[in-house]
Amino acid sequence: MVGLRAQSMKNTIPKIERNGQAGRPARPKFVRRMVTTFECIHPTAATISVAGSFNDWRPGATPMIPLGAGRWIKALTLPPGTYEYRLVVDGQWMPDPQAEETTPSPFGGLNSVLRVPEGRNGGE
């Protein structure tokens, strides 16, 4: 009975179609993600969030956490790639003053650029 059950389950695994022919079951693709920490010092800010290409430019999706004394922080886990972002301080959009790289924004001003590497030793 166990053998029949296993056979029934095996037939429910989705197959990859290759040129109209069934192939092997699809294997999940694993992407190494890296923790990226955003830090900001703004002594008078009531709220700070991060909006960028990694969250569809939605400031409410990524609020920063106040640490006190004007220090703010937010850690995100992102797959490798290049992202553009801006800080939103009390509703005002601005580039990250600590960003190593910027690029012109299509809406005027500058976007900050974040590059998340593949990982140590070329993605190992």
pLDDT value of position 30: 57
pLDDT value of position 3: 30
Nearest to 94 by CA among 102, 86, 104: 86
pLDDT value of position 33: 81
pLDDT value of position 70: 96
Taking CA 56 as the corner, what is the angle to CA 51 and CA 59, rounded to the nearest 5 degrees? 30
The DSSP bridge partners found for residue 76 are 36
Q: Containing H/E element for 92?
A: strand 92-94
Structural domains of the chain ordered from first start = 34-122 (2.60.40.10)
Q: Report the C-alpha gap between 97 and 101 in whole angstroms.
A: 10
pLDDT value of position 4: 31
Going 79 to 85 to 86 to 88, the CA torsion angle's sign is negative
Q: Report the C-alpha gap between 39 and 95 in whole angstroms.
A: 13
Q: Report the C-alpha gap between 109 and 83 in whole angstroms.
A: 16
pLDDT value of position 12: 45
pLDDT value of position 122: 43
The whole model's pTM is what? 0.70
pLDDT tens, residue order, the chain (124 aa): 223 333 333 444 444 555 555 566 666 665 678 899 999 999 999 999 999 999 999 999 999 999 999 999 999 999 999 999 999 999 999 999 999 999 999 999 999 999 999 865 444 4
Going 106 to 112 to 113 to 119, the CA torsion angle's sign is negative
pLDDT value of position 118: 83
